[in-house]
Amino acid sequence: MTKKYQVIYADPPWVYKDKSKSHGGGAESHYVCTPTSEMCKWDIPAEKDAVLLMWCTYPMLEEGLKLMAAWGFKFKTVAFTWVKKNKDGSVYMGMGRHTRGNAEICLLGTRGKGVPREHCGIYNTQLHGRGRHSEKPDSFRKDIVRLYGLDKTRLEMFARKQSEGWDVWGNEVECAAELPSAVSQKRAQARYDAKRPTGMLVRFEEAELRELDSQRKEGESRPAAVKRLLGFAP
């Protein structure tokens, strides 16, 4: 039986309609990006009473609200506003077609009755330095634990590292949680890796092969089906 979680913390790999990847600045230059339409299909392992905290940039706000609803959560508020700082303490100036962005927001949605807070002194707006591309400060993860308590079951989606007290799921970590979306994520990872000089290296588990087999066309070999489903078929 799939484990269910009361607190889910997510940093989705949004697909941006920009051209900045051409000079190394876009999200796709750093990690696998997944279309919102694909993520909306995922069955998230949340308890009937749960809370979702999901990072989103302002250009992707509409997509963020769409994804939150698709996962069965009702938008309530913005939990955090992260104002980014440079190493010298000045406010970071990011990109933007209108004003220059320097902040990211973490949307908060609830399912059922949600999860009651246990600490009423957590600030929304916080100033923290920047790490590697899209990496979020550890302090937000700690604040979530303070906000809802140590006794809650917690899952971090799209995690980049293991964190004490959290189950994690993502392409860059050894997953402690199971999501039915594993095959689609592995396809995306394969497409991403294939662009690198080392070429494509992807390994399918038996359950994933069975799902792939179910999508094979009549008379189509398994290798041919895998190439087609990964997007390499002519």
Instruction: Name the strand (E) or helix (H) holding 81.
Output: strand 74-85
**What pLDDT score was predicted for residue 30?**
42
pLDDT of residue 160: 84
Residues 169 and 211 both lie in one domain: no
Q: Tell me, what amino acid is at 21?
A: K
pLDDT at 70: 96
- Report the SS3 class of residue 226: helix
Residues 24 and 122 in one domain: yes
- On whether both 147 and 31 belong to a single domain, the answer is yes
Answer yes or no: do 142 and 224 share one domain. no
Tokens 């250009």 belong to residue: 59
Q: Does 119 share its domain with 210?
A: no
Burial zone of 8 (CB within 10 Å; 0-12 exposed, 13-18 middle, 19+ buried): buried
The pTM of the full predicted model, rounded to 2 decimals, is 0.74
Q: Give me the pLDDT at residue 218, please.
A: 79
pLDDT value, residue 95: 83
In a structure prediction context, what are the per-residue pLDDT tens digits for the chain, which is 234 residues long?
Answer: 678 999 999 999 898 776 554 334 444 444 466 889 888 989 999 999 999 999 999 999 999 999 999 999 999 999 999 999 999 999 998 888 899 989 999 999 999 999 999 999 999 999 999 877 668 999 999 999 999 999 999 999 988 888 999 999 887 777 777 665 544 455 555 554 554 444 333 445 555 566 667 777 777 776 677 666 655 544
Task: Indicate whether 213 and 161 sit together in one domain.
Answer: no
15 and 125 housed in the same domain: yes
Domain of 204, in residue numbers: 188-230
Same domain, yes or no, for 118 and 174? yes
Distance, in Å, from the CA atom of 41 to the CA atom of 10, rounded to the nearest integer, reads 16
Pair (35, 126) in one structural domain: yes
Asked if 65 and 93 sit in the same domain, the reply is yes
Helix axes 222-230, 182-194, angle to 10 degrees: 80
Q: Do both 158 and 212 map to the same domain? A: no
Q: How far apart are CA 210 and CA 144, in angstroms?
A: 38
Q: Are residues 127 and 207 in the same domain?
A: no
